[in-house]
Every structure is written in structure tokens, then in C-alpha cells.
Amino acid sequence: MNIRNILTVVTLVIASSGIFAQTAKEISDKASNIIDFKAMEMSLTLKIYDTKGRERVRQISTASKNFGEINKTIMKFTAPPDVKGTSILIYDYENKDDDMWIYMPAIRKTRRIVSSEKGKSFMGSEFTNADMSKPNMNDFDYKIISSETYKGHSCWKIETTCKDEDIEDENGFSKKIAWIEKKTYLCHKIEFYDFAGELYKIQSIEQYKKQSNNKYFAFYMKMENEQNARKSIMTINKFQLGSKLTESTFTPAMLKK
């Protein structure tokens, strides 16, 4: 056997052993990066359904922009009247806990959202405050549990487990399983499990649209609570890549403006 054939056999053996295979962490990193925008503005509708199917509707205007290594996001509720003027500010850091503030017009006060509140409901919906920002990838352990076809997409099933109880509290779950498409690295479905390990919520992410920077943005997200039959739906009405807003807009003092 000549040297070329030997190298070919060695390469095939190594590849089949999984040495060249992507790790679950690498796949999750790519899934996060493909939807990561440096700057954008959008308007969205949040529909909240209770156990009897009764609907509440919220209109939200959002802007997000990177300043150095910090991504800053401001969200303003524009309707209906009972929540109009409520504003949320998020400072998303790469390697430490996010900072979050909320302005409540009813009491004309801005307060910080502490870590223990980040896993709680976002404005009465099935989404959490933590869902509004990018998670710290180093807070979790990752594992590929299988491959599966979901709605015609060949996907990896990636299990993500919180490293400790504090991280569980901050995120509102103990672990999650994500269906990540092998071709595009887009995430199409996530199952969230509660602190007892029981299925808690299922998130569907749909209507991805490729933007001019070759990133993707999902225009429809649904979160269904499997334990109480409530659900919430976010639909993007308008999306703009980039933002002309200055850094002075993204401060706690500006939330009441």
C-alpha cells in the first residue's frame, strides 16, 4: 500500500471516529452567530393568550446596536394605553451577566431588573426577561443527543444544561433541547424543562428571512406553556437592518422620554 492510500485510510478512520465532527458547543455558537445583528430596528406585535384563549395584544418598538463589546437594546411599548410608555433597556455583555432596567410610567420610576427576575415572565407573557437578550454561552454544558428531521429540516438535537442553580434561576429553566438545522444552523424549535426536569415550554421559531448581511432574522416566534396551556406569540411587523441612533439613546435616563 502506497503512502497516499495509507493517508486516505487514516483520514477515513479519524473522520468516522468523530474527531473531525463539530461539537455541540461549536454548533450552538454558529446558531447564535447566524442570527446576531450589530444594529437593527423593528416593530413587533406581542399576543398573550391565557388558559381560556383570551387575547391581550401589545405593540412594541425596539432598537438594538453594538457599542464596543456591549450590545444595547431599548424596547418601548406603544400600545395599548395601559402599558404605553413602559420601556426596557438591556446591556448585553459577552462574558458577564446582562444589565436590565425597566421604566414604569404609572409610578414614573426606572428600576433595575435583578438577576433573580431575569427568568421571570416578560410583561405577563410566556417569554422571559432572559429571552430578550443573548445568553452567555459559557453558562451551559452542551451535548448532541441525536439527529432528527423537523418540518422537512435535517437537524441536530442539542441539549443545553445550566451549569448551576444560580444560572437556572436567571434563565428560568434547568435545560433545553434545540432543533438546529444542519444546512443553515438556524434553530427551529426549543423545548424548555423546569427545575424538576419536566417539560415546561415549547418555542417555535419560524419565517426566517435572510438579510443583506447574510444573517437571518425570524419574523414569528411562539412560546407555548405545556403546564398551564398559556401561550404567547411575537410577530415582526417591520424590520430594518442598521440604526442611526446614538449611544446616548441607550441609557436608563432616556427610558422615560
pLDDT of residue 2: 55
Cα 12 from chain centre: 37
CA nearest 248: which of 74, 87, 129? Answer: 74
The whole-number average pLDDT for the span 31-54 is: 98
What span, in angstroms and rounded, lies between the C-alpha atoms of 203 and 131? 11
Helix, strand or coil, per DSSP, at residue 248 = helix
Verdict on whether the full-model pTM lies above 0.85: yes
The whole-number average pLDDT for the span 248-252 is: 97
Cell numbers for 53: 384563549
CA nearest 22: which of 142, 177, 175? Answer: 142
All domains of the chain in start order, with CATH: 22-254 (2.50.20.10)
Local confidence band at 247 (pLDDT 50, 70, 90 cut-offs): very high
Q: Is the per-residue pLDDT at 77 higher than 70?
A: yes
Q: Is the per-residue pLDDT at 160 higher than 80?
A: yes
Q: Is the per-residue pLDDT at 8 higher than 80?
A: no
pLDDT of residue 21: 74
DSSP state of 128: B
pLDDT digits (tens, 9 = 90+) for 109-126: 999 999 989 999 999 999
List of E strands, the chain: 39-49, 55-67, 70-79, 87-92, 99-104, 109-113, 140-150, 153-162, 175-181, 187-193, 199-210, 216-225, 231-241
Q: Is the dihedral of CA 110, 133, 117, 122 positive or negative?
A: positive
Of all residues in the chain, what percent carry a pLDDT higher than 90? 89
Q: Is the per-residue pLDDT at 244 higher than 90?
A: yes
pLDDT of residue 60: 99
The whole-number average pLDDT for the span 209-234 is: 98
Mean pLDDT of the chain: 93
